[in-house]
């Protein structure tokens, strides 16, 4: 799961509604521009070997783990917890700044009835997504620790992040 902010104004952050409305598609892939809550481009997906990425399913959290899977799952690691730790480390971001995210490599199909389902991941070793920053960006990444659904094959694996100037 990934969050994006404008480094020069952290109150400006990724907005899935603006992004999806402007591209006219529920999934993100090559050519998708990621827009902010102020309507500005934050990043552009310039290469993608996976084919689509979810921005509707949200980040797993203690609360959603409890509702979806049972009370005993409440204290399992979650992306929201990882984001909270990253916000504390950054110092400019707070709990209130955790908003909508992108789930790269996650398969969350929209059913004909409009529902969302969490399916097997559509990624594999060597798959990647390449982003171009359209502003100075802060990027928070949670390598999803979810063990209760097939989004990562019930086995979270390492992710590699490369940053170029």
Query: What tens digit of pLDDT does each residue of 12-41 get?
Result: 999 999 999 999 988 899 999 999 999 999
User: In this structure, is residue 165 part of a structural domain?
Assistant: no
pTM here is 0.84
φ, ψ for residue 116, nearest 5 deg: -115, 140
Q: Over 80: is that where the pLDDT of 148 sits?
A: no
User: In this structure, is residue 161 part of a structural domain?
Assistant: no
Structural domain tally of the chain?
1
Nearest partner of 147 among 99, 63, 79, judged by Cα: 79
Mean pLDDT, residues 84-113: 85
- What does the radius of gyration of the chain's CA atoms come to, in whole angstroms? 15
Residue 93, classified by CB atoms within 10 Å of its CB into exposed (0-12), middle (13-18) or buried (19+), is buried
Say if residues 41 and 22 touch (Cβ distance below 8 Å): no
At 83 the three-state DSSP class reads helix
pLDDT at residue number 149? 65
pLDDT at residue number 107? 81
Sign of the CA dihedral 153, 49, 159, 58?
negative
User: In this structure, is residue 157 part of a structural domain?
Assistant: no
> The domain containing residue 92 runs over which residues?
2-152
Q: Over 90: is that where the pLDDT of 129 sits?
A: yes
φ, ψ for residue 137, nearest 5 deg: -120, 145
Nearest partner of 1 among 56, 67, 75, 65, judged by Cα: 56
Query: Tell me: the pLDDT tens digits for 54-87?
Result: 888 777 777 766 766 666 766 677 777 878 888 8
φ, ψ for residue 110, nearest 5 deg: -95, 125
User: In this structure, is residue 162 part of a structural domain?
Assistant: no
User: In this structure, is residue 7 part of a structural domain?
Assistant: yes
């Amino acid at each position: 799961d990934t969050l994006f902010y404008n480094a020069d104004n952290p109150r400006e952050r990724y907005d899935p509604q603006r992004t999806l409305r402007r591209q006219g598609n529920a999934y993100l892939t090559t050519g998708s521009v990621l827009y902010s809550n102020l309507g500005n481009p934050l990043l552009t997906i310039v290469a993608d070997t996976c084919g689509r990425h979810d921005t509707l399913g949200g980040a797993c959290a203690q609360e959603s783990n409890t509702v979806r899977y049972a009370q005993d799952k409440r204290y399992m690691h979650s992306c929201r917890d990882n984001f909270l730790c990253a916000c504390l480390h950054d110092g400019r971001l707070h709990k209130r700044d955790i908003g909508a995210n992108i789930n790269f490599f996650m398969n969350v199909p929209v059913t004909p009835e409009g529902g969302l389902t969490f399916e097997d991941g559509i990624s594999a070793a060597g798959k990647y997504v390449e982003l171009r920053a359209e502003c100075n960006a802060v990027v928070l990444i949670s390598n999803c620790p979810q063990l209760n659904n097939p989004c990562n094959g019930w086995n979270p694996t390492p992710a590699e992040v490369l940053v170029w100037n």
